[in-house]
Amino acid sequence: MDKKSPWLIEAYSLVAEKGMGKINIESLAQKVGSSKSSFYHFFGDTENFRAALFDYHIQRSEALALKISACDNLKPEMLNVFLENKKDILFHKQIRIKREDERCKVCFEVAYKKVENAIFDKWIIHLGLSNQALFAKAFLNLVADNFLLRITKNNFTYNWLETYIQEIGYLITQIDNTNIK
């Protein structure tokens, strides 16, 4: 681990739990056990730090996508991977909330695309939408956005995820598949 990593790891956890606006260099320095001047030595300024933090998220999203790709099914394997990577998903939620900021938006889109590509094949199989890939992709985007809005640190459990997947399955059964083009 290099000397920048503790700063990124601590900030990543802070953002995942409390949001992008909660990064304070002085309190971050205390948590890392270093000085503010070390922060500026490593990153130069807060914009460079944000860029490094977003790069860190994209790297973690790539690792998450690899874990998802290795899953044989949505339930229980992929749900367990989500739980094991709760911090990454909660960080992703925070940049989704702040996506009016161009850097947050770009990071969100790049990271989401990596995970979406890993999920998609299992998603269409689980929902029985193999013959409706365009609908399945659009539906996944809506569900992913809704998922990020609904999850919290406290409700992010296996039972909640399983119930959420059941709700999605129920919605699919209510759609008249003959009207999907």
Q: What is the dihedral of CA 11, 16, 21, 22, to 10 degrees?
A: -60
Taking only the tens of pLDDT, the chain with its 181 residues reads: 788 999 999 999 999 999 988 889 999 999 999 999 999 999 999 999 999 999 999 999 999 999 999 999 989 999 999 999 999 999 999 999 999 999 999 999 999 999 999 999 999 998 889 999 999 999 999 999 999 999 999 999 999 999 999 999 999 888 855 455 5
Which residues, at least 6 apart from 144, have a Cβ–Cβ distance to it below 8 Å? 112, 116
Give pTM, 2 decimals: 0.93
Distances (CA, A) of 166 to 60, 75, 76, 148: 28, 11, 13, 17
